[in-house]
Amino acid sequence: MPLPPSKYPFFYRKMPQYGFKRGFCVVFATRPYEIKVSISVFRMFLMSRAPKNPTTGNPGNPYIEDTILLEKQVEQVKAPSMYKVLLLNDDYTPMEFVVMVIQEYFNKDHETATRIMLQVHLVGKGVCGIFTRDVAATKVHQVIELSREAGHPLQCTMEEA
């Protein structure tokens, strides 16, 4: 069938190398300057379907590249550094107040709180708990604030475990 005079075919053939195995590809343009644009767009399309590297890819169909999987890098999360919260001995803070502070802020039962208080009294310092840095700093601040409000010179510190 002859083409109308206003239509310009610019590509008309089988293209098995680009994946067109059945049929033909025909593109028409109505004006001559549209041919250049259409040809360049069509060439970009053909290049995108062309094999990228003949040495790699699927040997059954070289037009489809294999997917390369990268190994997952396992992220090692470092455990947070832990800090000991220590109560320091003084001669003026009552033992009952120290037991109450340990029970209230460190969630210890009466017997455990009494043991920690005796360790503070006899050794000079006692470990009330081991926490992360932020939690330990908060507990130290709370204990010192409560002892100042009550008028006692009880000291509380933290050191790395």
**pLDDT tens digit string along 96-130?**
999 999 999 999 999 999 999 999 999 999 999 99
Claim: this prediction has a pTM higher than 0.85: no
Q: How much is the pLDDT for 109?
A: 96
Separation CA 86–CA 125 (nearest Å): 6
The three-state secondary structure class of 13 is strand
**pLDDT tens digit string along 33-61?**
555 555 566 666 666 655 555 555 555 65
Mean pLDDT over 148-156 rounds to 96
Element (H, E) at 46: helix 32-49
Asked if 56 contacts 66 with a C-beta cutoff of 8 angstroms, the reply is yes
Where does the pLDDT of residue 76 fall: very low under 50, low under 70, confident under 90, or very high at 90 and above?
confident
**Residue 156 CB neighbours (<10 A):** 22
